[in-house]
Amino acid sequence: MPCQAHLGEVNASKAEFERRGVSIVVVSFAEPAKLVHYQEHRRWPFTMLADPERNAYRAFSLKRLSWFQLFSPATLMRYLKLFREGMEREDYGQEDIHQSGGDFLLDRKGNVLFAHRSRNPADRPSAAELVRQIDRLRSAQAR
């Protein structure tokens, strides 16, 4: 559910990313058929890639979360906030709640320019923070 909320926030700021020439790619550990079903339902305007073997997760050092990380006070507060806002949990089958996520900015060569590895499901940079990082990186490259 926090992942859905994060994608919603990024989607709401999609024009800011596009204005900066940044493409958004979402990598999921879901099987391709489940990801197709998910995308048919959600219709996110992003490229969605299936990585059921989690090769990208290993390459980006995205770890498995402990029970304490999964049910940390920050995570529980995030879930409570999302439920209050009317967000419902969607069931897409066997989800691995222990797999951490992350947000990364890569250059065209695949070099990691910014990395945020989530410490719990609620730990995501805001879309505004991602835009600030893009601007910071552009500014540093211009020097």
Half-sphere exposure for 115 (CA within 13 Å, toward CB):
10
Whether the model pTM is above 0.85:
no
In angstroms, the CA 17 to CA 78 distance is 25
Per-residue confidence of the chain (143 residues) as pLDDT tens digits? 567 788 889 999 999 999 999 999 999 998 999 889 888 888 889 999 999 999 999 999 999 988 888 788 887 887 778 678 876 666 645 577 788 899 999 998 999 999 999 998 889 999 999 999 999 999 888 77
Cα separation, 40 vs 47, in Å, equals 13
Cα-based angle 91, 96, 97 (whole degrees, multiple of 5): 85
Residue 129: per-residue pLDDT: 96
Strand 25-28 with 47-50, pairing: parallel
Distance CA 141, CA 49 (A): 29
> What is the pLDDT at residue 78?
73
pLDDT, residue 92, reads 47
Instruction: Tell how far CA 129 is from the center of its chain.
Output: 13
Predicted pLDDT at 116: 95
**Which pLDDT value is given to residue 2?**
61
